[in-house]
């Protein structure tokens, strides 16, 4: 009898776990993958995909408003939340089935169960069955944080529940300043809710370029979203179907829903990590791993959000693939975490790759800053009060473009492509040599001739 039941046991059927299971099976490994909720994980079931579908739904509002300037008269439009949610759920169920089928086609076996460690090679399923595995991959993802247990915290929803509300809230309070909070603020505003965003720090999108932060906030405010910064929700009371949020600034707000999107934590609790000897990274609370995603235990690896490195779907997928190639494909691969493009699907959208201005100035002695802030051509006819921001950061000594930041319609699509150039270490001269594609917003990226500022670091800085 073989010493192990399987060569690889994957805990978690999300973006990273599924990719790792399929690729490992393709390399000939006997693979079992456990999923306690729904195949596809956060991204497919309650993250990127359903969110993007709702972002599309929310954009229709602007399209209808903008139509008049182009000669269209559209009778008063109505929006039906249950239809959106039902259609979204149908698409998510289709994707879940596709994920399941693809895993099964690869030869990996799915067990619909929670799995926890008994020891470094033994996993216990909810049924009580034990499975012995040569290698284990922890791909358990993350979960929303609710922060400290303020009075009334039980009334608060997170991004897990927001996809299943029975009705569109007429008024919603959203606490948080990161990308999930902003995206849902814009989704609800677009669908017709009255939205108040509350954030404890001085401005939204901490960690993003300062110009992006200011631009996004201004655009969201122009769109009717109330943004209160330097303030927190301290308690929530429920009166019938209504909630009152009491805030640190002494004011109170009535709403039909209160959502917190104040961060996510890695799913490490109650996994039996101590029985397996797997160490936590004290710096970020995720599972500690090396460049090959190996944990403190020789036969146990961890990828994706549970490692709390860069919590994005394509990163989890890349890490899962690299793990499978390294351990089962005889091809050691380390994932390069530099210059990862990222987006915020608020309105208007944010797309960014590379360094922020502050990071560029800290890293390079001479930084050229190219900035364009303009009214998009569509807005001239629609009359919408909106502006696009484009920003390039260039290491002036090598002419390399080290950062690109865009706020405007299509920013995410643009930045995915700019990211290729940035990854290839393109110079500003390469951008300049590229012919503009007219009339687009993106042509601004190759026509910004003169730096709006040059930052030269003083010797003592
Ligand atoms: P997950 O996809 O979270 O999968 C982990 C799986 O493990 C889950 O299905 C869970 O049920 C299962 N599990 C946990 N513990 C156990 C156990 N003990 N036994 C069995 N199963 C277990 N990223 C982007 O790139 N772009 C976006 O636009 C984007 N939008 C997002 C929007 C929201 C609202 C959220 C919440 C996230 C978003 N993300 C986005 C992040 C993205 O979803 C994650 O980075 C990605 O899903 C991480 O993949 P993963 O494989 O690490 O974990």
Q: DSSP string spanning 44-86?
A: HHHSHHHHHHHHHHHHHHHHHHHHGGGT---------HHHHHH
Q: What percent of the chain has pLDDT over 90?
A: 98
pLDDT at 323: 98
Q: What residues contact residue 289 under an 8 Å CB cut-off, 6+ apart?
A: 281, 295, 301, 302, 303, 307, 309
pLDDT at 259: 98
Q: DSSP string spanning 385-414?
A: ---EEEEEEEETTTTEEEEEEEESTTHHHH
Contact in structure between 88 and 95 (CB atoms under 8 Å): no
Average pLDDT over residues 299-325: 98
Q: Is the pLDDT of residue 297 over 60?
A: yes
Rounded distance from Cα 141 to ligand 1 centre (Å): 5
Q: What is the pLDDT of residues 402-441, one digit of tens each?
A: 999 999 999 999 999 999 999 999 999 999 999 999 999 9
Q: Is the pLDDT of residue 461 over 70?
A: no
What are the structure tokens assigned to 455, written together? Answer: 């930052």
Of 239, 265, 438, 455, the catalytic one is 438
Q: Indicate the pLDDT class of residue 216, thresholds 50, 70 and 90.
A: very high
- Pocket of ligand 1 contains residue 44 by CB under 6 Å: no
Question: Ligand 1: which atom is nearest the Cα of residue 303?
Answer: 52
Rounded distance from Cα 48 to ligand 1 centre (Å): 9
- Pocket of ligand 1 contains residue 293 by CB under 6 Å: no
Q: Which of 140, 144, 307, 317 to mutate to test the pocket of ligand 1 (most atoms within 8 A of CB)?
A: 140
- Pocket of ligand 1 contains residue 13 by CB under 6 Å: yes
Rounded distance from Cα 49 to ligand 1 centre (Å): 11
Q: What is the pLDDT of residues 228-242, one digit of tens each?
A: 999 999 999 999 999
Q: Which of 10, 11, 14 to mutate to test the pocket of ligand 1 (most atoms within 8 A of CB)?
A: 14
Q: Indicate the pLDDT class of residue 458, thresholds 50, 70 and 90.
A: confident
Question: Ligand 1: which atom is nearest the Cα of residue 271?
Answer: 18
pLDDT at 53: 98
What are the structure tokens assigned to 368, written together? Answer: 């050229």
Cite the residue boundaries of each domain of the chain with CATH code 3.50.50.60.
6-144+265-327, 153-262
- Pocket of ligand 1 contains residue 304 by CB under 6 Å: yes
Which CATH architecture group holds 6-144+265-327? Answer: 3-Layer(bba) Sandwich (3.50)
If phi > 0 it is left, if psi is from -120 to 50 it is alpha, else beta; for residue 224 that is: left
Q: What is the pLDDT of residues 28-46, one digit of tens each?
A: 999 999 999 999 999 999 9
Q: What is the pLDDT of residues 344-354, one digit of tens each?
A: 999 999 999 99
- Pocket of ligand 1 contains residue 35 by CB under 6 Å: yes
Is 438 catalytic? The answer is: yes
User: Is domain 153-262 given the CATH code 3.10.290.10 in the classification?
Assistant: no
Cite the residue boundaries of each domain of the chain with CATH code 3.30.390.30.
342-453
Q: Which of 12, 17, 186, 270 to mutate to test the pocket of ligand 1 (most atoms within 8 A of CB)?
A: 12
Q: Is the pLDDT of residue 460 over 90?
A: no
What is the average pLDDT value for the chain, to the nearest integer? Answer: 97
Average pLDDT over residues 333-351: 97
Other CB atoms within 10 Å distance of the CB of residue 364: 21
Sign of CA dihedral 444, 450, 453, 459: positive
What is the rounded distance in angstroms from the CA atom of residue 104 to the CA atom of residue 440? 44
Q: Whose CA is nearest to atom 36 of ligand 1?
A: 47
Q: What is the pLDDT of residues 122-174, one digit of tens each?
A: 999 999 999 999 999 999 999 999 899 999 999 999 999 999 999 999 999 99
Rounded distance from Cα 79 to ligand 1 centre (Å): 30
Q: What is the pLDDT of residues 8-32, one digit of tens each?
A: 999 999 999 999 999 999 999 999 9
Q: Is the pLDDT of residue 252 over 50?
A: yes
What do you get for the CA distance between the two ends of the chain, in Å? 66
pLDDT at 1: 46
Nearest-10 crossing angle of helices 179-191, 210-222? 20
What is the rounded distance in angstroms from the CA atom of residue 131 to the CA atom of residue 64? 56
Give the domain 342-453 fold. Answer: Enolase-like; domain 1 (3.30.390)
């Amino acid at each position: 009898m073989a010493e192990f039941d399987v060569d690889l046991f994957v805990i978690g059927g999300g973006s990273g776990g599924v990719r790792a299971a399929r690729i490992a099976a393709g390399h000939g490994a006997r693979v079992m993958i456990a999923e306690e909720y729904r195949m596809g994980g956060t991204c497919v079931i309650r993250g990127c995909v359903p969110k993007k579908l709702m972002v599309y739904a929310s954009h229709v509002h602007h399209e209808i408003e903008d139509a008049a300037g182009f000669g269209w008269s559209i009778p008063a439009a109505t929006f039906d939340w249950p239809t959106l949610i039902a259609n979204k759920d149908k698409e998510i169920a289709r994707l879940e089935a596709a994920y399941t089928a693809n895993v099964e086609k690869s030869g990996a076996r799915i067990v619909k169960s929670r799995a926890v460690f008994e020891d470094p090679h033994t996993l216990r399923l909810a049924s009580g069955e034990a499975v012995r595995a040569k290698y284990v991959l922890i791909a358990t993802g993350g979960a929303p944080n609710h922060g400290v247990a303020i009075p009334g915290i039980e009334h608060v929803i997170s991004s897990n529940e927001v996809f299943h509300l029975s009705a569109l809230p007429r008024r919603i309070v959203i606490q948080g300043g990161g990308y999930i909070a902003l995206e849902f603020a814009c989704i609800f505003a677009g669908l017709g809710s009255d939205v108040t965003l509350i954030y404890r720090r001085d401005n939204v999108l901490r960690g993003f370029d300062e110009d992006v932060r200011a631009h996004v906030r201004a655009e969201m405010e122009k769109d009717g979203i109330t943004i209160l910064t330097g303030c927190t929700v301290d308690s929530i009371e429920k009166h019938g179907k209504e909630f009152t949020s009491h805030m640190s600034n002494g004011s109170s707000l009535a709403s039909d829903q209160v959502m917190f999107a104040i961060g996510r934590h890695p799913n490490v609790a109650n996994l039996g990590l101590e029985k397996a000897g797997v160490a936590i990274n004290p710096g970020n609370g995720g599972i500690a791993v090396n460049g090959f995603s190996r944990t403190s235990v020789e036969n146990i690896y961890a990828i994706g959000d549970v490692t709390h490195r860069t919590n994005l779907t394509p990163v989890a997928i890349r890490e899962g693939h690299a793990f499978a190639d390294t351990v089962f494909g005889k091809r050691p691969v380390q994932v390069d975490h530099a210059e990862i493009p990222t987006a915020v699907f608020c309105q208007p959208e944010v797309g960014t790759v590379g360094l922020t201005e502050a990071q560029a100035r800290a890293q390079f002695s001479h930084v050229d800053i190219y900035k364009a802030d303009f009214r998009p051509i569509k807005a001239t006819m629609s009359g919408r009060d909106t502006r696009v921001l484009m920003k390039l950061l260039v290491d002036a000594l090598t002419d390399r473009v080290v950062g690109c930041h865009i706020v405007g319609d299509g920013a995410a699509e643009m930045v995915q492509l700019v990211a290729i150039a940035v990854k290839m270490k393109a110079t500003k001269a390469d951008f300049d040599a590229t012919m503009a594609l007219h009339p687009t917003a993106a042509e601004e990226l190759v026509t910004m001739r003169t730096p709006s500022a040059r930052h030269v670091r003083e010797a003592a800085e």
